[in-house]
Amino acid sequence: MSANREKDSQGNQDRQEKEQPRRRQARGERRIAQLLEAAATVFSTTGYTAASTNAIAREAGVSPGTLYQFFPNKEAIAIELGDRLMHELREMYGEALAPVDPATPLNEAVGAAVDRFIAFNCAHPVFFALMHGPDIPGRMAEEHDALHATLLSRIEGLLLSFLPDADPAVLARTAHMCLGLYKAGLELVLAHEGAERDAYVQELKNALIRYLDPLVGDNLGQGEAARTAT
């Protein structure tokens, strides 16, 4: 049933004999990556709750025991997955989303941010599952909340560029709304392909821009831009 055994024919023979511990660790790291990838697949297919560790192991081509050599339980897999995704997000786009030149027109800033996020989410479909999870039980909810909080603070950072003197409560609410809108749009984007997908991306941008536009009333001309963006 289980075909496994180092199927990665990467020909990594150039590694050194001195670095034996490193080799060991390297193998472990590879397995971990492999398992996380498998978990990503299974999570995005079935959702966290319905995902079984055996299925993840099978998807990764290893035995269940191997999975538990690297992760103490199912939760830990999702948590590590979330951590890695956040890390990558951070690496790709810098520590903050924010450092936007306030002179940048809103529609450009939003458009760029959405494009980036969409690209990231298309590359990592699990991110959506983890971000979106409504049925996350136990200690994992904390992780979920942490991920959420991180995203929110980034969005707040971005918004601050445009709304430097906003009431913190309003700012928080606006960030929540933006994240919600984004998630809603993302779901539609991921559900379509090709031209239709692009159209939804544009609609998502429109929705965000139009939602935010009145809040940055001093940036003249943007309302007009937004109105003609379709």
Partner DNA sequence: GATGAATGAGGATTCATTCAT
Partner DNA sequence: TATGAATGAATCCTCATTCAT
| Region class of 178: left (phi > 0), else alpha (psi between -120 and 50), else beta | alpha
Under the binding rule (CB under 8 A), the answer on residue 1 touching a second copy is yes
Judged by CB under 8 A, which of 67, 174, 201, 222 binds a second copy?
A: 174
Dihedral pair phi/psi, residue 50, rounded to 5°: -80, -10
Q: How far is CA 206 from the centre of its chain?
A: 21
Number of other residues whose CB lies within 10 A of the CB of residue 105: 15
Judged by CB under 7 A, which of 37, 45, 47, 64 binds DNA?
A: 64
Under the binding rule (CB under 7 A), the answer on residue 142 touching DNA is no
The token duo for 143 is 């992780």
Under the binding rule (CB under 7 A), the answer on residue 93 touching DNA is no
Under the binding rule (CB under 8 A), the answer on residue 211 touching a second copy is yes
Judged by CB under 8 A, which of 107, 114, 133, 161 binds a second copy?
A: 133
Closest distance of CB 32 from DNA, Å: 8
d(CA 147, CA 181): 17
Residue given tokens 């397995």 in the structure block: 31
Name the DSSP class of 214. Answer: G
Under the binding rule (CB under 7 A), the answer on residue 45 touching DNA is no
Is 107 buried (19+), middle (13-18) or exposed (0-12) by CB count in 10 A? buried
Residue 74's binding partner, choosing from a second copy, DNA, none, with beta-carbon cut-off 5 to 8 A by kind? DNA
Under the binding rule (CB under 8 A), the answer on residue 101 touching a second copy is no
Closest distance of CB 6 from DNA, Å: 6
Residue 206's binding partner, choosing from DNA, a second copy, none, with beta-carbon cut-off 5 to 8 A by kind? a second copy
d(CA 118, CA 114): 6
Judged by CB under 7 A, which of 33, 45, 47, 63 binds DNA?
A: 63
Under the binding rule (CB under 8 A), the answer on residue 226 touching a second copy is yes
